[in-house]
Chains A and B, each alone.
Chain A
């Protein structure tokens, strides 16, 4: 267990965290891999509020909560009072009154938790808000990279795909920059606008240039609905220009890693050959997700009890 100095009850994003706070989370997650903790959250109740579909994140969080000995309360917005027009804050306050100590929330709206979390005694963990942040996904990505690299200093990480609509890209950018890595955003301009340079990313629309000498690439899922408004003209056209193919993998450093937050559209943003190939650490990411989320839940419990 890390020293008892974690003062944040919530984890809404990585932008506001310091490098050493991020390292603390990663250290704790790594320590859980060696010696699984028991009952850190015994007697606590973790509620899941997901207004968007999720398989991976939700099951990973549930597993993390159960491994820490917490009770788990499932909650589906369909058929709940949220669908009857109750405000999100009222829903949280009621569930808190029921005894919930930790909320794990996925919501389709960016920033929806920022004003809400300070009004609650319970911890609020962001499991993805709109296009804004997905901090635990970035933490598990970092954990996976750090296991291989030891340090992020001087590493080049390419994030490839639909950056504009990606909370994974933003959380990774904020954290990787703090830890000393260089981040290159790559995708077609409509999905990867040059204004991202204002956030500290290097923006490169040509995948060959972006991938050259990279240490890792994180490939983002292309959502089908992006074809509606001209963001891409077709999946096949996108794949032609930006799919991570074996030939494009060859442009990276020989030991470079391939990541994907899932779920994969095989043959669109990622070729099956690469997804299942020797560089792929995609399933390691998933396994590390449970550890990263255990660390976040455990630390937020510390922060909550200090508050």
Chain B
């Protein structure tokens, strides 16, 4: 007998199989084996353990293509174990871990170590991005073919921009030959120039050094030109400025193979919201102006921005207590991304439930070429979330994550993951 579980009476929302209706979902041996109405009433499934999802959404588990798990090197801030448990709590069942660990994940042996760790410790599926350049120094390309053979799911120097356009061109060409996606952190360091917040009146008022949206956009425009030149796919991480959204929209219209993601903090908050000098509101790129925030919402609505990704970046309290100007960049997001997305995109009528699931799950799975993720179609991995879109809660420490650096503490949010299944196993239940 296969191991069975049935999720009953939920509103199943699966853009890939074009379902948005009340259905039962049958899971056998970690895979979706049937999606149909009234399955649970059939005698064949009598006695099968059931999860009642009446009045709830049942959606494919979130695919977060941008997280930092800090292992190896900074296990005090996060590990593969705690980061993936945080993911489970937030309804995220697949994460792509960025390679800026200590040491950097730039070799097949590093990947092998990480994958072994993930097999033993991870609560949800963890994929790893390999570095584009050795040590993420921006000087010499890593061995893409070997990294792919060792299981790299994408390539990125995230955290550091690739300032050398010629090198990025070659990276795109090689990655394209191998079918690997390059994810670029767009930032012109000569424009950002050590700033800690967005350039504008809010920064001037506090006497803090600001970076303009153009620091991102000049690199986005360059990247688009290189994607056009090479014909390669290119993904732009954590888009933050209105002009970047415009540039990506125009590029897509032209048929250039560029994709992009937005982070919940960027589409939910702006620079004027930052209380004083609180570094739990500091990340790179920074919270920008309200016009930028509005442009991100438009980009998410019309599909210019394909995916929602957290850029989950844990940092300990001591590091963050150092103050806005000197504390490290980054905020955690895995436990709040679904809630913020439902609160700010669904309840505020920016996205329909189906579009919301596309941005959170379907599209990022597609960008990473994951055929068995991001959908509840028969044969897919049983990565699934039961969501109460109307549950009101306020995130507060302690978190499952080892860190607590988030601007969403004590913010009232409407929407929450009730139960998370990863490969058919319950990895989170409220």
Contacts and interface: CB of A to CB of B under 8 A. Distances in A.
B208 A111 contact: yes
B277 interface: yes
A120 to B, nearest CB: 16
B325 interface: yes
B199 A195 contact: yes
A196 B323 CA distance: 23
B394 interface: no
Given A109-B326, A115-B276, A198-B204, 17 more contacts: A109-B325, A110-B206, A110-B277, A110-B325, A111-B207, A111-B277, A111-B323, A111-B325, A112-B277, A114-B276, A115-B278, A131-B207, A133-B207, A170-B204, A170-B207, A195-B199, A196-B201
B204 A111 contact: no
Interface in A4-19: 15
Chain B CB within 10 A, most for which of A115, A133, A197: A115
B352 interface: no
Interface in A111-128: 111-112, 114-115
Nearest to B199: A195
Interface string A147-173: 000000000000000001001001000
Contact of A111 (B200, B201, B206): B206
Contacts of B204: 164, 170, 193, 195-196, 198-199
B409 to A, nearest CB: 15
A132 interface: yes
Contact of B324 (A111, A129, A167, A197): A111
Interface string A64-90: 000000000000000000000000000
A196 to B, nearest CB: 6
Q: Kindly list the 3 A-B residue pairs having the minimum CB-CB distance in the complex, ordered from nearest.
A: A198-B201, A132-B207, A131-B207
A130 interface: yes
A20 interface: no
Interface in B8-52: none
B-side interface mostly: loop
Give the bracket for the number of chain B residues in contact with chain A.
10 to 19
A15 B277 CA distance: 15
27 contacts: A15-B205, A110-B208, A110-B325, A111-B206, A111-B208, A111-B276, A112-B277, A114-B277, A115-B277, A115-B278, A115-B323, A129-B207, A130-B325, A131-B208, A133-B207, A170-B204, A170-B205, A170-B207, A193-B199, A193-B204, A195-B200, A198-B200, A198-B201, A199-B201, A199-B204, A199-B205, A229-B193
B241 to A, nearest CB: 15
Interface in B289-328: 323-326
Given A112-B323, A198-B200, A130 B207 contact: yes
Chain B CB within 10 A, most for which of A114, A170, A196: A114
Contacts of A196: 201, 204
Contacts of A198: 200-201, 204-205
A109 B200 contact: no
Interface string B197-215: 0011100111110000000
A112 to B, nearest CB: 6
Nearest to A196: B204
Contacts of A164: 204
B198 to A, nearest CB: 11
Nearest to A116: B323
Contacts of B201: 195-199
A196 B206 CA distance: 12
Contacts of B200: 195, 198
A189 to B, nearest CB: 13
A209 to B, nearest CB: 21
A13 to B, nearest CB: 10
Contacts of B199: 193, 195
A68 B261 CA distance: 61
Interface string B377-399: 00000000000000000000000
Chain B CB within 10 A, most for which of A109, A132, A133, A229: A109
Contacts of A15: 205
A135 to B, nearest CB: 13
A167 B277 contact: no
A109 B324 CA distance: 10
A302 to B, nearest CB: 25
